[in-house]
Chain A
Amino acid sequence: GESVGLHLPTLSVQEGDNSIINCAYSNSASDYFIWYKQESGKGPQFIIDIRSNMDKRQGQRVTVLLNKTVKHLSLQIAATQPGDSAVYFCAENVNRGSTLGRLYFGRGTQLTVWP
């Protein structure tokens, strides 16, 4: 079945370092992937997305890499700041019939940035 999982449940980095958060997915029919950031007590906040016909996409301080061969997704955050501390989720959308609108989320990675 569809599943999105994360390799590490927690990640601690020093302010200014780069962070890499990984995600594995199992459904080759997934055609859209999204990274969300969730701070305590808030809803998931969109960070960046990527379609399956791409292997890299860059935003402001963030880069998403997609490796369809091994079904792996990663989020890279450059010059990590204390405000980046949050739980990060990857999510996938499987382009298939009635489940078109459904996002499948992984468990999340808790990123902690210390000064």
Chain B
Amino acid sequence: GAGVSQTPSNKVTEKGKYVELRCDPISGHTALYWYRQSLGQGPEFLIYFQGTGAADDSGLPNDRFFAVRPEGSVSTLKIQRTERGDSAVYLCASSLFGTSTDTQYFGPGTRLTVL
């Protein structure tokens, strides 16, 4: 079946603008995760959804970042008043149950560039 998909694949925006990044998880997966990956680094956790609710949002860097998953499937990561430091690849992953030993499958990522 289809894997995790993310749109857009690339997003270029200007400092101060608002952006939305979309993630479509693997069908049937209850858990969804957002990570951010800077150049030369490993992914860093942002937020984790179990169903429609955010089970852990402690990785969000500040209140400009927000994510939703209203129907327990597709998720949108929203960034307000973007800053140049927000430039990174934003990765989404999903897993079947969201337990600690559940494999997380990643999408291709959205490369965000803030000019």
- Interface of A, secondary structure class, is strand
B56 within 8 A of A: yes
Q: Which residue of B lies closest to A49 (CB)?
A: B103
Is A100 touching B43 in the complex (CB atoms < 8 A)? Answer: no
The proximity string for B residues 45-63 relative to A, scoring 1 for CB distances below 8 Å and 0 otherwise, is: 1001010000110110000
Which B residues between 28 and 87 are near A, CB-CB below 8 angstroms?
Answer: 31, 33, 35, 40-45, 48, 50, 55-56, 58-59
For chain B, give the interface size range: 20 to 34
Is B40 touching A44 in the complex (CB atoms < 8 A)? Answer: no
Q: How far is the CB of B20 from chain A (nearest CB, A)?
A: 19
Residues of chain B within 8 A (CB-CB) of A107 are 40-42
A99 within 8 A of B: yes
Is B101 touching A51 in the complex (CB atoms < 8 A)? Answer: yes
Contact partner of A98 (CB less than 8 A), chosen from B31, B55, B109, is: B55
Q: From A43, A46, A107, name the one whose CB has the most chain B CB atoms within 10 angstroms.
A: A43
Question: How many A residues face the partner with a CB closer than 8 A?
Answer: 29
Residues of chain A within 8 A (CB-CB) of B91 are 43-44
Q: From B41, B56, B104, B109, name the one whose CB has the most chain A CB atoms within 10 angstroms.
A: B104
Contact partner of A100 (CB less than 8 A), chosen from B35, B40, B42, B55, is: B55
Residues of chain B within 8 A (CB-CB) of A95 are 100-101
B4 within 8 A of A: yes
Residues of chain B within 8 A (CB-CB) of A43 are 4, 91, 93, 106-109
- Partner-B contacts on A (CB < 8 A): 4, 31-32, 34, 36, 41-46, 49, 51, 89, 91, 93-95, 98-108
12 further A-B contacts with Cβ under 8 Å, apart from A43-B91, A93-B101, are A32-B100, A41-B108, A42-B108, A44-B106, A45-B106, A46-B105, A101-B50, A101-B100, A103-B33, A106-B42, A107-B42, A108-B41
